[in-house]
Protein backbone atom coordinates (compact mmCIF):
# COMPACT_ATOMS: atom_id res chain seq x y z
CA UNK A 1 0.00 0.00 0.00
CA UNK A 2 1.13 3.55 -0.74
CA UNK A 3 1.05 6.35 1.81
CA UNK A 4 -1.81 8.66 0.86
CA UNK A 5 -2.84 11.96 2.45
CA UNK A 6 -5.84 11.47 4.73
CA UNK A 7 -8.09 14.32 3.67
CA UNK A 8 -10.61 13.34 6.32
CA UNK A 9 -7.96 13.93 8.98
CA UNK A 10 -6.84 17.18 7.39
CA UNK A 11 -10.42 18.40 7.08
CA UNK A 12 -11.22 17.64 10.71
CA UNK A 13 -7.98 19.19 11.87
CA UNK A 14 -8.69 22.36 9.90
CA UNK A 15 -12.29 22.56 11.14
CA UNK A 16 -11.29 21.93 14.75
CA UNK A 17 -8.46 24.45 14.60
CA UNK A 18 -10.86 26.96 13.03
CA UNK A 19 -13.33 26.49 15.88
CA UNK A 20 -10.53 26.74 18.43
CA UNK A 21 -9.23 29.90 16.75
CA UNK A 22 -12.74 31.39 16.87
CA UNK A 23 -12.89 30.54 20.56
CA UNK A 24 -9.50 32.17 21.02
CA UNK A 25 -10.71 35.41 19.39
CA UNK A 26 -13.85 35.50 21.55
CA UNK A 27 -11.82 34.68 24.63
CA UNK A 28 -9.31 37.48 24.04
CA UNK A 29 -12.21 39.82 23.21
CA UNK A 30 -13.84 39.12 26.55
CA UNK A 31 -10.55 39.71 28.33
CA UNK A 32 -10.09 43.00 26.44
CA UNK A 33 -13.58 44.27 27.33
CA UNK A 34 -13.36 43.52 31.02
CA UNK A 35 -9.62 44.06 31.54
CA UNK A 36 -8.82 46.83 29.04
CA UNK A 37 -6.14 48.28 31.29
CA UNK A 38 -4.34 44.95 31.63
CA UNK A 39 -4.93 43.13 28.32
CA UNK A 40 -1.38 43.66 26.99
CA UNK A 41 0.35 41.80 29.86
CA UNK A 42 -2.22 39.01 29.48
CA UNK A 43 -1.42 38.65 25.76
CA UNK A 44 2.32 38.69 26.42
CA UNK A 45 2.03 35.95 29.02
CA UNK A 46 -0.17 33.84 26.73
CA UNK A 47 2.26 34.25 23.82
CA UNK A 48 5.26 33.30 25.95
CA UNK A 49 3.37 30.31 27.33
CA UNK A 50 2.49 29.13 23.81
CA UNK A 51 6.10 29.53 22.67
CA UNK A 52 7.44 27.57 25.61
CA UNK A 53 4.83 24.85 25.18
CA UNK A 54 5.56 24.55 21.46
CA UNK A 55 9.36 24.60 21.53
CA UNK A 56 9.89 22.55 24.69
CA UNK A 57 6.99 20.10 24.40
CA UNK A 58 9.30 17.24 23.39
CA UNK A 59 11.59 17.69 26.39
CA UNK A 60 8.65 18.14 28.76
CA UNK A 61 6.96 14.99 27.46
CA UNK A 62 10.09 12.88 27.85
CA UNK A 63 10.74 14.33 31.30
CA UNK A 64 7.15 13.64 32.41
CA UNK A 65 7.55 9.98 31.50
CA UNK A 66 11.05 9.68 32.93
CA UNK A 67 12.23 8.70 29.44
CA UNK A 68 15.91 9.14 28.60
CA UNK A 69 17.47 9.30 25.17
CA UNK A 70 19.46 6.13 24.48
CA UNK A 71 22.40 5.49 22.19
CA UNK A 72 22.79 2.83 19.52
CA UNK A 73 25.33 1.06 21.73
CA UNK A 74 22.76 0.74 24.53
CA UNK A 75 19.84 -0.49 22.39
CA UNK A 76 21.20 -1.64 19.00
CA UNK A 77 18.12 -3.65 18.01
CA UNK A 78 15.73 -0.84 18.86
CA UNK A 79 17.82 1.66 16.89
CA UNK A 80 18.00 -0.67 13.90
CA UNK A 81 14.24 -1.15 13.97
CA UNK A 82 13.50 2.58 14.14
CA UNK A 83 16.04 3.31 11.37
CA UNK A 84 14.47 0.75 9.05
CA UNK A 85 10.91 1.89 9.72
CA UNK A 86 11.86 5.56 9.35
CA UNK A 87 13.27 4.83 5.88
CA UNK A 88 10.09 3.01 4.96
CA UNK A 89 8.04 5.99 6.19
CA UNK A 90 10.34 8.46 4.34
CA UNK A 91 11.19 10.24 7.60
CA UNK A 92 14.45 11.34 9.20
CA UNK A 93 15.34 9.03 12.04
CA UNK A 94 13.90 10.44 15.29
CA UNK A 95 15.64 10.45 18.63
CA UNK A 96 14.97 7.30 20.62
CA UNK A 97 14.16 7.31 24.32
CA UNK A 98 13.39 4.57 26.81
CA UNK A 99 11.42 4.87 30.04
CA UNK A 100 12.01 2.38 32.82
CA UNK A 101 8.37 1.57 33.51
CA UNK A 102 6.31 -1.59 33.86
CA UNK A 103 3.55 0.08 31.89
CA UNK A 104 3.58 -1.29 28.31
CA UNK A 105 3.32 1.87 26.21
CA UNK A 106 4.94 4.14 23.65
CA UNK A 107 4.55 7.69 22.38
CA UNK A 108 5.96 10.19 19.89
CA UNK A 109 6.80 13.81 20.59
CA UNK A 110 8.45 16.80 18.93
CA UNK A 111 7.21 19.90 17.11
CA UNK A 112 8.60 18.83 13.70
CA UNK A 113 9.89 15.82 11.83
CA UNK A 114 13.49 16.86 12.45
CA UNK A 115 13.03 17.44 16.19
CA UNK A 116 10.89 14.38 16.88
CA UNK A 117 11.45 11.56 19.33
CA UNK A 118 9.95 8.12 19.81
CA UNK A 119 9.82 6.78 23.34
CA UNK A 120 9.05 3.25 24.49
CA UNK A 121 8.86 1.74 27.94
CA UNK A 122 10.78 -1.27 29.12
CA UNK A 123 7.38 -2.79 29.81
CA UNK A 124 6.34 -2.73 26.16
CA UNK A 125 9.65 -4.17 24.98
CA UNK A 126 9.23 -7.05 27.42
CA UNK A 127 5.58 -7.60 26.41
CA UNK A 128 5.52 -7.54 22.60
CA UNK A 129 7.12 -9.65 19.93
CA UNK A 130 9.49 -7.96 17.48
CA UNK A 131 6.78 -7.80 14.81
CA UNK A 132 4.26 -6.29 17.23
CA UNK A 133 6.77 -3.72 18.47
CA UNK A 134 7.45 -2.75 14.85
CA UNK A 135 3.72 -2.10 14.43
CA UNK A 136 3.65 0.15 17.51
CA UNK A 137 6.73 2.14 16.45
CA UNK A 138 5.32 2.52 12.93
CA UNK A 139 2.13 3.92 14.52
CA UNK A 140 4.21 6.52 16.35
CA UNK A 141 6.11 7.38 13.17
CA UNK A 142 2.76 7.93 11.46
CA UNK A 143 1.94 10.50 14.15
CA UNK A 144 5.20 12.28 13.34
CA UNK A 145 4.54 12.15 9.59
CA UNK A 146 1.06 13.63 10.11
CA UNK A 147 2.52 16.33 12.43
CA UNK A 148 -0.03 15.29 15.04
CA UNK A 149 2.15 16.22 18.01
CA UNK A 150 2.60 19.83 16.89
CA UNK A 151 -1.05 20.23 15.96
CA UNK A 152 -2.31 18.80 19.25
CA UNK A 153 0.15 20.91 21.25
CA UNK A 154 -1.11 24.09 19.61
CA UNK A 155 -4.73 22.98 19.83
CA UNK A 156 -4.45 22.28 23.55
CA UNK A 157 -2.86 25.65 24.31
CA UNK A 158 -6.11 27.61 24.61
CA UNK A 159 -7.65 24.88 26.71
CA UNK A 160 -4.66 25.02 29.07
CA UNK A 161 -4.81 28.81 29.41
CA UNK A 162 -8.56 28.72 30.04
CA UNK A 163 -8.13 26.01 32.65
CA UNK A 164 -5.47 28.02 34.46
CA UNK A 165 -7.73 31.07 34.55
CA UNK A 166 -10.63 28.99 35.87
CA UNK A 167 -8.38 27.53 38.54
CA UNK A 168 -6.34 30.59 39.53
CA UNK A 169 -8.23 33.58 38.10
CA UNK A 170 -9.94 34.54 41.34
CA UNK A 171 -6.70 34.25 43.32
CA UNK A 172 -4.59 36.33 40.94
CA UNK A 173 -7.41 38.74 40.23
CA UNK A 174 -7.78 39.43 43.92
CA UNK A 175 -11.47 38.72 43.58
CA UNK A 176 -12.01 42.18 42.02
CA UNK A 177 -11.64 43.95 38.70
CA UNK A 178 -11.43 47.67 37.99
CA UNK A 179 -12.73 50.09 40.62
CA UNK A 180 -13.11 47.24 43.08
CA UNK A 181 -15.83 45.63 40.95
CA UNK A 182 -16.02 41.84 41.17
CA UNK A 183 -17.98 41.46 37.91
CA UNK A 184 -14.97 41.44 35.50
CA UNK A 185 -13.22 38.65 37.36
CA UNK A 186 -16.41 36.60 37.58
CA UNK A 187 -17.13 37.06 33.86
CA UNK A 188 -13.53 36.17 32.96
CA UNK A 189 -13.69 32.96 34.99
CA UNK A 190 -17.09 31.98 33.54
CA UNK A 191 -15.89 32.71 29.98
CA UNK A 192 -12.76 30.67 30.62
CA UNK A 193 -14.86 27.79 31.94
CA UNK A 194 -17.01 27.74 28.79
CA UNK A 195 -13.92 27.96 26.55
CA UNK A 196 -12.21 25.17 28.45
CA UNK A 197 -15.21 22.82 28.19
CA UNK A 198 -15.76 23.41 24.47
CA UNK A 199 -12.07 23.17 23.56
CA UNK A 200 -11.73 20.06 25.74
CA UNK A 201 -14.47 18.28 23.76
CA UNK A 202 -13.12 19.45 20.38
CA UNK A 203 -9.60 18.29 21.18
CA UNK A 204 -10.82 14.90 22.40
CA UNK A 205 -12.76 14.37 19.16
CA UNK A 206 -9.75 15.34 17.06
CA UNK A 207 -7.45 13.13 19.12
CA UNK A 208 -9.63 10.04 18.67
CA UNK A 209 -9.74 10.46 14.91
CA UNK A 210 -5.99 10.94 14.61
CA UNK A 211 -5.46 7.59 16.33
CA UNK A 212 -7.41 5.79 13.61
CA UNK A 213 -5.29 7.57 11.00
CA UNK A 214 -2.02 6.73 12.78
CA UNK A 215 -3.11 3.09 13.00
CA UNK A 216 -3.67 3.04 9.26
CA UNK A 217 -0.40 4.88 8.62
CA UNK A 218 1.52 2.44 10.82
CA UNK A 219 -0.03 -0.50 9.00
CA UNK A 220 0.96 1.03 5.64
CA UNK A 221 4.56 1.46 6.82
CA UNK A 222 4.94 -2.18 7.92
CA UNK A 223 2.40 -3.78 5.58
CA UNK A 224 1.19 -5.81 8.58
CA UNK A 225 -2.05 -4.48 10.10
CA UNK A 226 -2.50 -7.72 12.04
CA UNK A 227 0.75 -7.14 13.97
CA UNK A 228 -0.44 -3.74 15.26
CA UNK A 229 -3.87 -5.19 16.07
CA UNK A 230 -2.21 -7.96 18.08
CA UNK A 231 -0.04 -5.40 19.90
CA UNK A 232 -3.06 -3.24 20.79
CA UNK A 233 -4.93 -6.20 22.24
CA UNK A 234 -1.90 -7.36 24.20
CA UNK A 235 -1.15 -3.88 25.61
CA UNK A 236 -4.80 -3.27 26.48
CA UNK A 237 -4.94 -6.58 28.34
CA UNK A 238 -1.83 -5.72 30.33
CA UNK A 239 -3.13 -2.28 31.41
CA UNK A 240 -5.33 -3.85 34.08
CA UNK A 241 -2.21 -5.31 35.69
CA UNK A 242 -0.37 -1.98 35.97
CA UNK A 243 -0.11 -0.72 39.59
CA UNK A 244 -2.47 2.18 40.34
CA UNK A 245 0.33 4.44 41.51
CA UNK A 246 2.03 4.11 38.10
CA UNK A 247 -1.22 4.97 36.35
CA UNK A 248 -1.79 8.08 38.47
CA UNK A 249 1.73 9.34 37.87
CA UNK A 250 1.47 9.09 34.08
CA UNK A 251 -2.22 9.80 33.42
CA UNK A 252 -1.50 13.30 32.07
CA UNK A 253 0.34 11.72 29.11
CA UNK A 254 -2.81 9.95 27.82
CA UNK A 255 -3.01 11.92 24.58
CA UNK A 256 0.49 10.78 23.57
CA UNK A 257 0.25 7.08 24.49
CA UNK A 258 -0.58 4.36 21.97
CA UNK A 259 -3.09 2.99 24.52
CA UNK A 260 -4.50 5.49 27.04
CA UNK A 261 -4.71 4.97 30.77
CA UNK A 262 -8.39 4.73 31.57
CA UNK A 263 -9.80 5.86 34.90
CA UNK A 264 -13.39 4.72 35.26
CA UNK A 265 -16.48 5.76 33.31
CA UNK A 266 -15.53 9.43 32.95
CA UNK A 267 -12.09 8.49 31.66
CA UNK A 268 -13.63 6.31 28.96
CA UNK A 269 -16.29 8.89 28.06
CA UNK A 270 -13.75 11.65 27.43
CA UNK A 271 -10.91 9.44 26.23
CA UNK A 272 -8.26 10.77 23.87
CA UNK A 273 -8.34 7.41 22.04
CA UNK A 274 -11.02 5.26 20.39
CA UNK A 275 -11.73 1.93 22.04
CA UNK A 276 -9.26 -0.84 21.33
CA UNK A 277 -12.08 -2.92 19.87
CA UNK A 278 -12.87 -0.28 17.24
CA UNK A 279 -9.22 0.18 16.37
CA UNK A 280 -8.69 -3.55 15.96
CA UNK A 281 -11.82 -3.80 13.81
CA UNK A 282 -10.48 -1.08 11.48
CA UNK A 283 -7.11 -2.82 11.25
CA UNK A 284 -8.74 -6.15 10.41
CA UNK A 285 -10.71 -4.43 7.66
CA UNK A 286 -7.42 -3.08 6.33
CA UNK A 287 -5.91 -6.57 6.52
CA UNK A 288 -8.74 -7.94 4.38
CA UNK A 289 -8.23 -5.04 1.94
CA UNK A 290 -4.55 -5.96 1.61
CA UNK A 291 -5.38 -9.62 1.00
CA UNK A 292 -7.62 -8.73 -1.95
CA UNK A 293 -4.97 -6.62 -3.69
DSSP 179: G
Burial bucket for residue 95 (CB in 10 Å: 0-12, 13-18, 19+) = middle
Is-contact 86 92, C-beta < 8 A? Answer: yes
Pairing of the two strands 95-99 and 106-109 = unpaired
Is 2 a catalytic site residue?
no
Rounded distance between C-alpha atoms, residue 228 and residue 209, angstroms:
17
Q: Are 37 and 180 in contact (CB under 8 A)?
A: no
Distance CA 197, CA 22 (A): 14
190, 183 contact by CB (below 8 A): no
Query: Catalytic residue among 140, 211, 252, 289, which?
Result: 140
Is the separation of the CB atoms in 258 and 107 below 8 Å? yes
Q: Spell out the residues 6+ positions from residue 94 whose beta carbon is closer than 8 angstroms to its own.
A: 82, 86, 108, 110, 116, 117, 118, 141, 144
Give CA–CA dist 238/243, Å, rounded. 11
Cα angle value 156/94/281 (rounded, 5°): 65
> Which sequence positions are flagged as catalytic?
140
Amino acid sequence: MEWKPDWGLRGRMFFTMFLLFALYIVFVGVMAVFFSNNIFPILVVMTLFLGAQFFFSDKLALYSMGAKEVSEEEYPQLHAMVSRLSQQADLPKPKIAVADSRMPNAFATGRSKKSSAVAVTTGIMNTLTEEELEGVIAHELAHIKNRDVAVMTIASFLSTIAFLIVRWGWFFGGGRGRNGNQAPVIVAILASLVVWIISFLLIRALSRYREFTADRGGAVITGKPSALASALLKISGRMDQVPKEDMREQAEMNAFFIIPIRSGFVGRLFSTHPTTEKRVEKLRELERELETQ
